[in-house]
Amino acid sequence: MNREVFYIAGFDPRSPKYYYSIFKSNIIKTSRIEQNCLNLNKLENAEIPNFIIDYKGCKTRYSFLAWNDIVIEHFCKKFFDVFAALIAFFIGYTISGVTYMVAKYSRTQLIAGYYPLLFILFSYFMIILVCYILGSIMGITLLWGLVAILIFYFGTKAIFYIGQKAGIFWLLSIYKFCYRYAQQRVNGIDKRNEFFANAIINSIKNNQNNNTEIMVVAHSVGTILAISSVAKVIKKCKLEGLNISNLKLVLIGGCVPLTSFQKCGDKFKKELEIVANSDITWLDFSSKIDGACFFMLDYVKKSNIKAKHSPNLISVRFFKIYDKKTYKNIRYKWYEVHFLYLKATQISGGYDYFYMIADPSRLENKVF
């Protein structure tokens, strides 16, 4: 049994080296992997960075389909970027009616979407309040004007610093990116998806005559790119008469509706329709305590797509794979929970990312 894994990270400026280090440090801790049977190679810095996992006679090539350079371009790096993102959020989600859809199916996503806006409004309200109190004490004078300007300047600096450190503007960047993705306004993303698709197709071609399992695994916003890339794979393989029965799609902590709910997202909806009308194994993992995903939502049906299949929706119950103390500590830390899918488990028997990736049994035979 051999396996090819193509991993697409979420909206994260960090490189494959970071994700390799996370994988390496956690696979040796996780509950369902027997360490004496595990061999992990170093990361190979090729055009597509990859490494080999050897576990119980199963060799898995784990390849990173990187797009962190595109993420960096669309990250809110300056305060003016934040206001541009707020405008995009207001137009793309509030005016368009997507906010209503999000509120209907995922309250946590609604909170995540409006959290940056409320943070900025509240912060400036406090700045204005401080200036007003000082004006009442000092009187409206030139000195007060200079002090107010300084308060606004350093207050803005503090808002941006806190927003970056707390991941608040990361959320805002994600919403802006997903809206632009639906509009087809993300420079270079079509070429990148084409590159991803060709890498997967080459693997399919090289393994037509064997039983190698080919898994496309995506996390967070990467699930949107995975849908687009796999749709291209399905179309091209159909034209070339290639067998795709060993192709599997695994989405983790996804936020596909941020794009599929958009009225301007016709191209993406067609890609989603292609995947949904194929016969590939398609799993979608989400958790109720993950504030950045759509928990157990059939976005194929909710996006009004005519399809034969929807993804197999699987709930990740973190309270069953972590001890009570650990679970209590992370229960309301939405940012940390969103990356917990990629971390080591403490209690064996439930969801385990590394077992899914490395164990010799095929994906559809694994029970979570």
Which CATH number characterizes residue 249's domain? Answer: 3.40.50
Are 84 and 198 in the same domain? no
Are 280 and 200 in the same domain? yes
What's the rounded mean pLDDT across residues 346-360?
94
| CA proximity to 176, closest of 249, 116, 127, 120 | 116
213 in helix, strand or coil?
Answer: strand
Are 25 and 120 in the same domain? no
pTM, to two decimals: 0.91
Q: Give pLDDT tens digits for 198-237.
A: 999 999 999 998 999 999 999 999 999 999 999 999 999 9
Lowest mean pLDDT among 183-187, 193-197, 320-324, 335-339: 335-339
What's the rounded mean pLDDT across residues 247-256?
97
- Higher pLDDT residue, 311 or 105? 311
User: Does residue 368 carry a pLDDT above 70?
Assistant: no
Are 322 and 296 in the same domain? yes
User: Does residue 193 carry a pLDDT above 60?
Assistant: yes
For residue 217, the enclosing domain spans 2-66+188-365
60 in helix, strand or coil?
Answer: strand
Domain stops at, among 145, 162, 179: 179
Are 34 and 80 in the same domain? no
pLDDT in the model for residue 167: 77
- Of the pLDDT bands very low, low, confident and very high (cuts 50, 70, 90), residue 105 is confident
96 vs 291: CA distance, rounded Å: 22
Q: Give pLDDT tens digits for 271-299.
A: 999 999 999 999 999 999 998 899 999 99
Are 253 and 232 in the same domain? yes
Are 89 and 157 in the same domain? yes
pLDDT in the model for residue 206: 95
Counted domains in the chain = 2
308 vs 305: CA distance, rounded Å: 10
Q: Indicate the helix (H) or strand (E) that contains 196.
A: helix 189-206
Q: Give pLDDT tens digits for 39-88.
A: 999 999 999 999 999 999 999 999 999 999 999 999 887 877 888 888 88
Contact (Cβ atoms closer than 8 angstroms) between residue 76 and residue 120: no
Are 160 and 47 in the same domain? no
Domain stops at, among 179, 196, 216: 179
User: Does residue 142 carry a pLDDT above 70?
Assistant: yes
Domain stops at, among 179, 203, 233: 179
Are 203 and 62 in the same domain? yes
Instruction: Work out the number of other CB atoms within 10 angstroms of the CB of residue 27.
Output: 21
Q: Give pLDDT tens digits for 293-318.
A: 999 999 999 999 988 899 999 999 99
- Of the pLDDT bands very low, low, confident and very high (cuts 50, 70, 90), residue 147 is very high
Are 110 and 53 in the same domain? no
203 vs 208: CA distance, rounded Å: 9
pLDDT in the model for residue 266: 95
pLDDT in the model for residue 367: 66
Are 130 and 230 in the same domain? no
Are 236 and 197 in the same domain? yes
